[in-house]
Structure 1
Amino acid sequence: MTDHPRRVTRALLSVSDKTGLIEFAQALAGHGVELVSTGGTAKAIAAAGLKVRDVSELTGFPEMMDGRVKTLHPKVHGGLLAIRDNKEHADAMKAHGIAPIDLLVVNLYPFEATVDKGAAYEDCIENIDIGGPAMIRAAAKNHDDVAVVVEAQDYQAVLDELAANKGATTLALRRRLAAKAYARTAAYDAAISNWFATQLKDNAPDFRAFGGRLIQSLRYGENPHQTAAFYATPDKRPGVSTARQLQGKELSYNNINDTDAAYECVGEFDPKRTAACVIVKHANPCGVAEGPDLVTAYRRALACDSTSAYGGIIAVNRTLDAEAARAIIGIFTEVIIAPDATEEAISIIGSRRNLRLLLAGGLPDPRRVGLTAKTVAGGLLVQSRDNAVVEDMDIKVATKRAPTDAELRDLKFAFRVAKHVKSNTIIYAKDLATVGIGAGQMSRVDSARIAARKAQDAAAEMKLAEPLTKGSVVASDAFFPFADGMLACIEAGATAVIQPGGSMRDEEVIKAADDHGIAMVFTGVRHFRH
């Protein structure tokens, strides 16, 4: 690639975000660049005392139709698309009075922000930019001759090149800016198309696109030989993507994935009702508990599996306070995420320099509609978020014995947790705390046995006479296909069961529960998580 410098003699500026605009325009003028602009951008530049030519002077047409038509004109697009070294193009420019535009500066109407604030349908439509993307794509296509800037953070790079190259840009910069320009318009169109699909209640549009803004370039992915980066989507769901990191090392790919899993789980617990803590290891909760305060919830969650909690991720659903902070730093922890934290708690966490503290500013709404996506070979699997909440389910008693009030409370708690554990899932719970978690096994029986074994290990560590699965309740994320999985839970000491139901052998499972005096309820809702 040759340097291929191109001198900037004329720039067209049209921006909705005017951050840094005046300083940039002043610097361009200092390099002898003629400024052409539109609407509010032109007024802002003129108000700063700079000479600026309105685009209507360039085109010979006024802005019209409430500004919808102003740059869609051959004198704009010809100036952007003409190949400077092509004689035919040069002759056409001369014949039609088209002046070259060497630098385009456009950031788009704030469609994503308009949708995010819940604006009316008509307002969202008016914030779909047409001329901006058309110009951006034209300039990016002709990047051999034209530089295109789509956000203020690239102003300085352009000015540095103009200063270093006697008012010219290099091909290397123009290519980089062109690539970014196409990515920006792609993300913009993705946001618009997904919004339209939502408005039309179209769950399977013929084309589906997702776009995002870089949050962080990561050192590597799940493993050191994999590259990775973290992007924010237009869905401003509170969590790791919205959080402020107050301290600690840079987050890794696995940190981000695990922190998201922890925070989504703790979002199931209304902070007005209870304090809650979730401890996650390798994207699975290894301890979840409610309590009257965060420190109690943390200690009860830790008791479920303190071995796995070492080096884990901790999420809480209330403002992190000093007492909880002191307890948490008692063992090695990778990340703490909370809606907020007191200054004293922040100071306490500060004593562990490498411990990441994230403040998300809010909790994710478990009922909120949204999309999730995962890649498969040659494709994307897209689905609506699992926003089923146990409080909204029609829970039906399937056995002769109905659960007691205390059992039903724990059953709902356990099913809430099961939603966030990899399938096949078995959750033992007692007094609003997990006491055994079996995750990700090919057999539901194995999950039941692993969870029971974890409870035995915890009992030995705490020097208890028997594991806390004795007298517990149990949740299964999907139905028991046979009675054997449930019998393994009963053997571990469970007295009540919550499951979706719907197996061909439900009657066999119900009979086994009745034979052992166990209460069992059906939710009618499955929580597979693969």
Structure 2
Amino acid sequence: MSAPTTVAVPAPATADTPVTLRRALISVSDKTGLADLVRALHAHGVEILSTGGSAKAIEAAGVPVVEVADHTGFPEMLDGRVKTLHPAIHGGILGMRGNPAHEAAMADHGIAPIDLVVVNLYPFEATVARGADFATCVENVDIGGPALIRAAAKNHAGVTVVTDPEDYACLLEDLKAHAGAVSAALRKRLAAAAFARTGAYDGAISRWFAEQVGETIPRHIVSAGRLKQTLRYGENPHQQAAFYVHGLARPGVASARQVQGKALSYNNLNDTDAAFELVSEFSDPAVAIIKHANPCGVARGETLAGAYERALACDPVSAFGGIVAVNRALDRAAAEAITRIFTEVVIAPDADDAARAVFAAKKNLRLLITGVMPDPSTPGLTVRSVAGGLLVQSRDAGLVTEDDLSVVTQRPPSPAELADLLLAFRVCKHVKSNAIVYVKGGATVGIGAGQMSRVDSARIAARKAQDAAEAAGMAEPLTRGSVVASDAFFPFADGLLAAAEAGATAVIQPGGSVRDEEVIAAANDAGLAMVFTGMRHFRH
């Protein structure tokens, strides 16, 4: 094996001129579209260098290929870990065309220019997603690939870099339009995409590795993802928006398959995520109806259809145009119940053929299928932007059980009250603060969200329950005989007394106020049972 003895250096190039392709380096993990690409490059007279499986695929496509080892004069070694990490490769990529010193050095060392680098990386994200062990994940960390990509992107004045099979078509179109050359505009755009890809790749690795060593708050954090969908607009029509996903996606809107319906909006995605996370809290059949990221009805039941009807009864006015999430495969009965009113999105782990046929009659309704439910106890991070930075915290995976409760009143809750209290507090976790949730018989019957005063949330929830009762022709609201949950402590007794006036008989709250004794005394005077959780669930 020997290195080239003569070097043909292309005409001087600047960042503004088309560059003719004479030699390409191709090393890809994802071989989608590779055969068509190399045949087209060969037709333009491009010499192709490659390695391993990529070289075999190129040969199978009937295109001549030069092994990198033959080009460098140095064999592939260390189980393939070292193959492209060689001056004959990186010098050919990084040498500046039109720079006399670079050209002289390349000629002195027999380094041939490489004008095109086509590289996609070892499938690290997919390896982690399928649950591979630690050693396998580490082995799928690409080293040479990112180095090649970054080198080519840095020297985009003379080199074209392609990191995604989706860009093959635009490369070939540009080559055809410029008689075998690549325009400056495309080189720049592909270079930007290349840096974004290596950044996202390193971000996925760093996030995964931090999790492996139990580092919740690392010194540096990288937030990156792949564009899944360009959205028509953001929260409002004057705002631009897009949906990005990363390879370590939690089951939900990022991993879901859209079976039918028009394109999802920014608000749809945000609300659907909130709905699916809420309904994942329950093991028995459950339904959550969400509007503007807040639940307007949540219920458990023996069937999804039954649970939906009970969830809808909590606030049928707000449910119109809402998001419905379920934690079981949808059947015909559930689909028919859901489609009786206008619904924007339905998300479920699955749906049988009969349910899909019912939804198909509502062509604008979006149906999302996830395959699995997320685990509410799984650790992870939530990220929110602020001016000049990011707020990062661990996901609220806190779960209160009966063993965590402290009875603080003279009367303990009955078994039925206790079951409803635990459900109410679990729903509270998904309601914007200040949050008040009334529950009766396994279903929410009143929800107050996002108020500056806790007593206002209690009163609003009670008023909505009264409105629902009047609309349904009931003699009294379902809050009569209900239990009530508060996401944080009652700072004064007024919020608790407002709940008692609404008909609540038992209360669940974190406790911890300097006025706890005053609140407990008010609960005793009203004949309420009250338990403290020791855990709060603020949601902003």
**Normalising by the residue count of structure 1, what TM-score does the alignment of the two structures yield?**
0.97
Q: Report if the CA contact (8 A) 1:148-1:178 is conserved.
A: yes
Measured in 1, the distance between the counterparts of 2:107 and 2:117 equals: 21
Within a 5 Å distance, the mapping from 1:152-301 to structure 2 comes to: 152-270=165-283, 274-301=284-311
Counterpart of 1:418, as a letter, is C
**Corresponding residue for residue 141 of structure 1:** 154
3-state DSSP of counterpart to 1:382: strand
Contact 2:347/2:368 (<8 A) preserved: yes
Give the superposition deviation at 1:2. 8.2
Question: Is 1:485 aligned with 2:498?
Answer: no
Q: 1:430 aligns with which of 422, 440, 461?
A: 440
Question: What does residue 408 of structure 1 align with?
Answer: 418
| SS of corresponding position for 2:466 | helix
Do residues 521 (structure 1) and 531 (structure 2) align?
A: yes
Match of 2:384 in 1: 374
Looking at structure 2, the residues matched to 2 and 98 of structure 1 have their Cα atoms a distance apart, in angstroms, of: 22
Corresponding residue for residue 346 of structure 1: 356
- Aligned counterpart, 2:393: 383
Q: Equivalent residues in 2 for 1:29-108 (5 A)?
A: 29-108=42-121
Question: Structure 1 residues 511-520 or 387-396, which shifts more?
Answer: 387-396
Give how far 1:289 is off.
0.8
Q: C-alpha displacement at 1:118, in angstroms?
A: 2.2
User: How far apart, in 2, do the equivalents of 1:2 and 1:152 lie?
Assistant: 24
Give the C-alpha shift of residue 39 in structure 1: 1.9
2:528 and 2:39 mapped to 1: Cα distance? 78
C-alpha distance in structure 2 between counterparts of 1:22 and 1:393, whole Å: 62
Give, in angstroms, the shift of residue 204 of structure 1: 2.1
Q: Which runs of 5+ in 2 are unaligned?
A: 1-13
Work out whether residues 436 and 455 of structure 1, in 8 Å CA contact, stay in contact via their aligned partners in 2. Answer: yes
Structure 1 residue ranges, 4+ long, deviating more than 6 angstroms after superposition: none
Q: CA deviation at 1:456?
A: 0.6
Tell me which amino acid in the other structure corresponds to 1:417.
V
Equivalent residue, structure 2, for 1:124: 137
The amino acid that maps onto 2:471 is E
Amino acid at match of 2:445: V
Count how many residue pairs are aligned between Structure 1 and Structure 2.
527
Task: Pick which of 466-475 and 355-364 moved more.
Answer: 355-364
Structure-2 residue corresponding to 1:356: 366
The CA RMSD over aligned residues, in Å, is 1.4
Q: How far off is 1:92 after superposition? A: 1.4
SS state at 1:269 partner: coil
Task: Report the Cα distance in structure 1 between the residues aligned to 2:324 and 2:400, rounded to whole angstroms.
Answer: 23
Q: 2:98 and 2:134 mapped to 1: Cα distance?
A: 46
- For residue 156 of structure 1, report the CA deviation from its aligned partner: 1.5
| CA contact 1:6–1:169 (8 Å) conserved in 2 | yes
Give the residue type in structure 2 aligned to 1:41. Answer: S
Residue 197 of structure 1 deviates from its aligned partner by: 1.4
Q: Using structure 2 for the length normalisation, give the TM-score.
A: 0.95
How has the CA–CA distance of structure 1 residues 189 and 161 changed in structure 2, closer, same or farther, with 3 Å as cutoff? same
Structure 1 unpaired stretches of 5+: none
CA contact (8 A) 1:393 1:523 kept: no
Contact 1:393 1:525 in 2 (8 A): no
Deviations 1:356-390 (A, max 9, x none): 11111111111111111000110000111111123
Deviations 1:89-144 (Å, cap 9, x if unpaired)?
Answer: 11111111111111101111111112222222222221111111011001011111
Q: Percent identity of the aligned residues?
A: 65
Q: CA deviation at 1:43?
A: 2.4
Structure 2 CA distance for aligned equivalents of residues 288 and 223 of structure 1: 28
Residue identity opposite 1:304 in structure 2:
C
